[in-house]
Amino acid sequence: MTKTLRSGPLEDVTVIDCTRALAGPFGAGLLADLGARVIKVEPPLGDGYRNIPPFLPDYAGPYEDREAGTDFGAPFASVNRNKRSVCLNLKEEGDRELFLKLCEQADVVLENVRTGVMDRLGVGYEAIAVRNPKIVYGCVRGFGDPRTGASPYAEWPSLDAAAQSFGGLVHANDGLVTPAIADIFPGTLMALGVVSAVHHAQKTGKGQFLDVSMYDAMMAFQKSAVAQFSFTGKVNPAGLQRAMTLYPFDLFPTRDGRISIAAAQPHHWDLLCAAMDRADLITDERSATNAARLKNVDWVEEQICAWTSQLTRAEVMAKFNGEIPAGPVQNMEDIFADPHVAARQMLEQCSPSGDNPEISLAASPIKFSDTPTGLYHRPPTLGEHNAEVFAEFGIQVPD
């Protein structure tokens, strides 16, 4: 059930969240789940991510009477729980002033629009820092912000597919990776950067600007590939490299799906051979060592597949008895039924509006012993909290 009070290690941090779509809202959502007071500031037509399906039965539409039901789909709900929504038109002087007054009392401002947009509106980092020198201003950009390093592509738009392509991930996997990792990982790094900068501001009294480039984040995501190229000077072939450094470290067929097996360490390989009743593979020169298995990967794969394909995923896992790094390839129905998910309380429920039944949202994977976190506020409708937030901040709104 939904909690009633905000809690967590960041409950003393106030965030003004101007992010849209996925990358920025994901990072802001991490901060909200960790207890930060997050005020989502949206333009008059709202975050366009609200309009992405699927929707609940009482969906009122993006521009309809929002009191009649939800005005968001599942993708928006997934990254905007634990936030409140304020609707402001930053192109209007009065709303800009209200926004800046919110920022005066905040610790953090977040955005992920194109380079220069917030500056042209008069609400960029420098304008806010004049009023609040302790402000931490964080953003996600496709190719970074000139404040931290000018890119020849700085003015270009970027979405997940473009950043995955630029950063080498598409080449490494011979296709796009889902879910949108070039949004999710930069958003995560932004949240980490924000927490670090807030820590610094609390010590020094001085805030700062920080950005995460989606391109840069994809390079960081592939630290191992970067190092491999530096060591060898050779470009890895396109497609998932199943046997570059360790084997077995791959997917194998079973009677009811696939299972991953990562038994590259000597003792794990010995345990796998025992589970397969193939003690001969421990001493066979083609499979006795990791180097030998890499050299003879096709043959080793055949031996493992011949065994796994006769069993179900559950039967393979039972034979491993929790001693070998392995996992069944699960879909979301499997995950919802997994006892681990229940034990770790990784699904939290809320009732979004109207007569809709409760929906389940992924909980924070960061678990604390002394400052527990949780779902305390359902995803907001557009502008739902204008009056509440301005009253809370002590800001008089002109008639």
Q: Which residues are catalytic?
A: 183
Buried b (16+ CB within 10 A) or exposed e, 35-50: bbbbbbbbbeebbebb
Cα of first residue to Cα of last residue in the chain, in angstroms, is 38
Angle between helices 266-275 and 313-320 (to 10 degrees): 120
Cis peptide before 248 (omega within 30 of 0): yes
CA separation for the pair 115, 120 (Å, rounded): 10
DSSP string across 76-94 = HHHH-TTEEEEE--TTSHH
CA separation for the pair 113, 19 (Å, rounded): 7
CA angle in degrees (0–180, nearest 5) for 16-51-178? 85
CB 303 within 8 A of CB 279: no
Q: CB atoms < 10 A from the CB of 109, how many?
A: 29
**At 171, phi and psi to the nearest 5?**
-60, -45
Angle between helices 181-204 and 23-33 (to 10 degrees): 50
Structure tokens at 143: 């190719």
CA separation for the pair 342, 72 (Å, rounded): 27
CA separation for the pair 7, 372 (Å, rounded): 7
CA separation for the pair 185, 268 (Å, rounded): 31
Residue length of the chain: 399
